[in-house]
Structure 1
Amino acid sequence: MRRFRIHRFGSMMLAGLLLLAGCSGNAGPSPADSGQTGQSGQTGSSAGGSTGGGEQVTVSMHSWRVEDAEGYKKIIEAFEKENPNIKIDFKPFKATEYNTILNTALQSESGPDILQLRPYAPGVSLAEAGHLEPLDNLPGIQNFSKDVLAAATGKDGKVYGVPLSLNSTQIYYNKKLFEQHGLSEPKSWDDLIGTAKTLKEKGIIPFAFGAKEGWLLSLSHGVIAPGTYNGNAFVNKILQGQADFTSPEFVQSIQRMQELVPYFPENFAGLDLNDTRTLFFTEKAAMFINGSFELEGLQKMNPDLAIDFFPMPTEDGNTVLTTWVDGSYAVNSKAKHKAEALKFLEFMATKQFGELFANEFKRISAVPGVQTSDPLVNKMAELSQSNATPYLMVVHFAEGNPTTKQTLENALQGMYLNKLTPEQVVDEVQKSAASWFPPFKK
């Protein structure tokens, strides 16, 4: 059992980690309308209702994690046991549809009382549009570090979400298949390609990979790219405007995404997360690039799966793990049951919730001081403290219209359909970032 802490990378925020549709990381359109935000931190009737008396109140709660529905039942039961007058109606949606459904509901003032908030810019845009209740006075929010809260902090400096989890992305692999063919964890890019070649020669799909869902492409690039630019030194140069996406290191990262194509499944351009997940847990594919949020689901789908993971080897002989703070939970500024919703968020900021979350989902809770005994979770958390780099497109480049993150996803899909070259992908990404990113405008 280990106690985890957040690791700071120089000038930027980041988390040590674990979490997601898939992830969590799909940035959707910002809402067009705006409203007036109320005052947060009130848990009594003045904030929108009362938990006292005998009348039961039902609080609506939306999420993009359909696969978490059963786990949340146990967590919600623990809250409802202590708050018998509050019932939480948890309703998840498909991750790729969540943003559109949520934005439409908020714009029509029919949104849920509690909503799962995309990290960084996409979530902040909802606050700027007036849809979220500030949480600076919420009991327990002060226990989170500023770096963790940054994922749900508006440009006005106010906090709008209770951070849920700390995520990492890495390359999962089937230990049994590796051992059967005398393979070990790759220590370099050449090792990784050599491993993939050996597996293909043995009739095994090297990578469970699909290009149908764009967010999976930016996530996979977020794992591959830091190996070419050696992690944080290049990231700092990007953030300071001393380098841009036309730099050789970034160009090489796109070229490597193309270099992996021979080791993907047939017809990979039409495969989605469920397809690739199935290829891996049925042991037809030996490796799977994805997030910490996939671990619990993979183990449930195949309890006998001999699963492990390795961080990305870098050009300077080290390894790197991509990390970020994932989705927070926020309260709708026009919530029908605001006081009760705030009461549940207060619960989400407690160690009790953090431990329930970590144990149920095998992920690192964002709540400080939470412990877990799962060895793979521990391994992720340890590497996230010592070898971490931020998920660049989520943490720093999820702005623009379309966002630079979405631009990368669309361009990579174009590359995999043989419509764009790696150099053209780079040009699209740089053009997007230069349209809004201040350091590129100097």
Structure 2
Amino acid sequence: MKRFRLHTAASVVLAAALALTGCSGGGGNEAKPSSDQGNNSGGNQAGGGQQVTLSMHSWRVEDTEGYAKLIAAFEAENPNIKIDFKPFKATEYNTILNTALQSDSGPDILQLRPYATGAALATAGYLEPLDNLPGISNIPKEVLAGATGKDGKVYGVPLTLSTTQFFYNKKIFDDNGVSIPKSWDELIAASKALKEKGIIPISFGAKEGWLLSLSHGVIAPASFTNGYMDKLLKGESDLKSPEFLKSIQRMQELIPYFPENFVGLELNDMRTLFATGKAAMFINGSFEMEGIKKLNPDLQLDFFPMPTDDGKQVITTWVDGSYAVNAKSKHKAEALKFMEFMTTKKFGELYANQFKMISPIPGVSAEDPLVNRLTELTQTNATPYLMIVHFSEGNPTTKKTLENALQGMYLNKLTPEQVVDEVQKSAATWFEPFKK
């Protein structure tokens, strides 16, 4: 399999933007991988000795069953190491984790938010550097960038490369003579045709803000033509540009094709509407495929990339989380052993097939053809999730500002013009290219 590329018009700028702040914990001494550790006090060497239980935290409650299988594979090879996997609700995870780390009661292994959010934990000294970890060099640098600090050190092993796109129900499309849209106008026409037949065109909810920036990440690239992304990242354009405004206007233009009372719907509602065949399309991430198929194994699930105004197609990508080691863990050698396992092709294949996700480990292919198609598109038609990769800093973050403003627009409290004003004001407080 080809190496992953986060394809943008400004790859050099992307690489610089991903060099996030970080510092080592544990008195500044970089931990060596388990194979270089030697014996711990009490004889707790990673490969043998008395049994150790590692705590492992995540924001993926829905993945508990799948993680049990991954952990079982690791424990079979490391019988002296047990892992206690404890997930939390995604919207509560950051607060719970930060509180635990600040009180020195954090987990041994923690799921790390990508880019700036995760890097903030490295800045605070909570994470152990992983540069000397066996296998880490097998992962492409542009993928490792999602967990890399400004000091150039790597603080997490990437779990997956996520994508966002339009999922659609092939049976509903075929039964109603609807074709895959090749332009924005065709998307609107398809939505109108479905609505006229009593079918909800797009399963969508505005209750959870992160879903709004995610959906915008899919819609926006359609209007980001003529090198806009490159100009934006260089500070030659901004977020009040006609291109960005058009992306917000299009988010508003889709309102007639959302479910009734969509402002009160959350992810579970959206997923259920689509999986049960009540809605024809679903804007969401590749991480939803497993859950959708569990709800309805017979669903004829497919996807299409976002058609752009210049006749192309793009799929939005980003490194969606890594796993890191707590710098104050009492069992670093054992935790690093699990990190090393995560860099192997065996883990990559287990993960890709269990969760129907794209593994960042080179050479891994999945049993699911949809996963392999998504993998191919990440190599040829990818564009970065703008708000996570480039605009996830600030207080509140520019990403969060966009989410709040879009919720305001859907409640008829803000116009698209006011949304872009709010977003630009946020970015101008910290985004260096805007300060030229």
**TM-score category, normalised to shorter length:** over 0.9
**Residue type of the alignment partner of 2:117:** P
Matched-pair identity in %: 71
Cα deviation for residue 404 of structure 1 reads: 0.5
Deviation track 1:311-346 (CA, whole Å, cap 9, x = no partner) reads: 111111111111111111000001121111011101
Whether contact under 8 Å (1:14, 1:148) holds in the other structure is no
| Structure 1 partner of 2:288 | 294
Equivalent in 329, 333, 340 of residue 335 of structure 1: 329
State the shift of 1:247 in Å: 0.7
**Equivalent residue of 1:229, what SS?**
coil
Paired position in structure 2 for 1:167: 162
Q: Given the alignment, which residue of 91, 95, 102 partners 1:100?
A: 95
Are the aligned partners of 2:33 and 2:336 in contact in 1 as well (CA < 8 Å)?
yes
Superposed, 1:75-94 pairs within 5 Å as 75-94=70-89
The answer to whether 1:155 aligns with 2:150 is: yes
Aligned to 2:267: 273
Partner AA of 1:302 in structure 2: N
Structure 1 counterpart of 2:182, from 187, 203, 215: 187
Which has the larger displacement, 48-57 or 408-417?
A: 48-57
RMSD: 1.9
Deviation of the 1:46 alpha carbon:
5.9
Q: Where does residue 6 of structure 1 map in the other structure? A: 4
Q: Does structure 2 retain, via aligned residues, the 8 Å contact 1:14–1:325?
A: no
- TM-score scaled by length of structure 2: 0.94
Q: Report the alpha carbon displacement of residue 11 of structure 1 after superposing the two structures with TM.
A: 3.4
Question: Which residue, 407, 419, 422 being the options, matches 1:425?
Answer: 419
Shift of 1:278: 0.5
Counterpart check, 1:124 vs 2:122: no
Between the aligned partners of 2:12 and 2:321, the Cα distance in structure 1 is: 15
Q: Which amino acid aligns with 2:387?
A: M
Whole-Å separation in 1 of the counterparts to 2:190 and 2:49: 63
Opposite residue 427 of structure 1, the aligned amino acid is: D
Q: How many angstroms apart in 2 are the aligned matches of 1:90 and 1:313?
A: 40
Q: How big is the shift at 1:387?
A: 1.2
Aligned equivalents of 2:290, 2:141: Cα separation in 1 = 28
Which ranges in structure 1 are unaligned for 5 or more consecutive residues?
A: 16-29
Please state how far the C-alpha of 1:230 moved relative to its aligned partner.
3.1
8 A contact 1:37–1:132 mirrored in 2: no
Report deviation, 1:52.
5.1
Of residues 373, 383, 391, the one that matches 1:389 is 383
Residue pair 1:36, 1:131 contacting (<8 A) in 2 also: no
- Aligned-partner residue type, residue 90 of structure 2: A
In structure 1, the partner of 2:222 is 227
Distance in 1 (alpha carbons) for counterparts of 2:170 and 2:125: 49
The Cα of 1:405 is off from its aligned counterpart by 0.4
Deviates more, 1:183-192 or 1:379-388: 379-388
CA distance in 1, matches of 2:296, 2:280: 14
2:204 equivalent among 202, 205, 209: 209
Q: Distance in 2 between matches of 1:54 and 1:157?
A: 34
Q: Secondary structure at the match of 1:308?
A: strand
Q: Aligned AA for 1:42?
A: P
Higher mean displacement: 183-192 or 40-49: 40-49
Q: Are 2:210 and 1:199 equivalent residues in the alignment? A: no
Partner amino acid for 2:410?
A: Y
CA distance in 1, matches of 2:40, 2:12: 32
Quote the offset at 1:53 in angstroms. 4.9
Matches within 5 A, 1:354-433: 354-433=348-427
Q: Structure 1 residues 153 and 53, CA, compared in 2 at 3 Å: closer, same or farther?
A: closer
